[in-house]
Copies of this chain bind each other. A is one copy, B any other.
Amino acid sequence: MEDHLTLCDIGNTSYHFLKDERDTKESVATFDPSTLTEDVYYISVSPQADALVGNLANWHDLRAYINWDNYYETMGVDRIIACEAIAEGLIIDAGSAITVDLVEEGKFEGGFIYPGLEAMQATYRNISPRLDYSLNFELDLDKMPQNSRDAISYGVLRTLYSEVMRHDQQIYLTGGNAKVLSQLFPTAIVDEHLLFKGMKKMMEKRC
């Protein structure tokens, strides 16, 4: 395994790079991938980025490495790569969307998509200016709220929490909001490099 490879996980909003164990981010809206001359091994869920990197000979799409027997056709490649990284557990990838995927005995057993935390806050704000609150991550999960900020925080976080905890699985947290969500899931393993681990594993399988 060559650790000086450049890996890139392209989400809806960011290019997330890993090279020599250091990670950096660039914006999907502004970054020009043709400025890189080295080989880049990537996954992407961004139609906008796909249109740019698809024509570049040094950008290699790891989508080609996926065994599609284990996944469904329209499943986001980021979710698939995350599932490849673990043998057992529930993966929460908290970015612009929050994906929750179940892996049992090395096999993907289904998953769901919840809106990202920023998207949810915007949703409330758009319903009514009276619902414009920042989320309270120190919310008491065992008490129905008695104030507006907690009523909204509970609506976003407790609903997700109730469903996640029902599965009684080891939780893996990754994505840009992994750390903030770990306040809700104190027993979760936070691993912001989980997708890069999945990418490396897939590349090793092929070697």
In the complex with contacts A112-B144, A152-B113, A47-B130 CB distance below 8 A: yes
- Nearest B residue to A104, CB-CB: B144
**How far in angstroms is the closest Cβ of chain B from A127?**
5
- A72-B146 in contact (CB<8A): yes
For residue A106, CB closer than 8 A to chain B, the reply is no
* Interchain CB contact (< 8 A) of A115 among B45, B47, B100, B120: B120
- B contact residues around A96 at 8 Å (CB): 127-128
- B contact residues around A74 at 8 Å (CB): 130, 147-148
**How far in angstroms is the closest Cβ of chain B from A8?**
18
For residue A129, CB closer than 8 A to chain B, the reply is yes
For residue A59, CB closer than 8 A to chain B, the reply is no
Alpha-carbon distance between A19 and B76 when the two chains are bound, in angstroms: 51
- Mark contacts of A139-168 with chain B using CB atoms, 8 A cut-off: 1 yes-contact digit, 0 otherwise: 000011111101110110011101100100
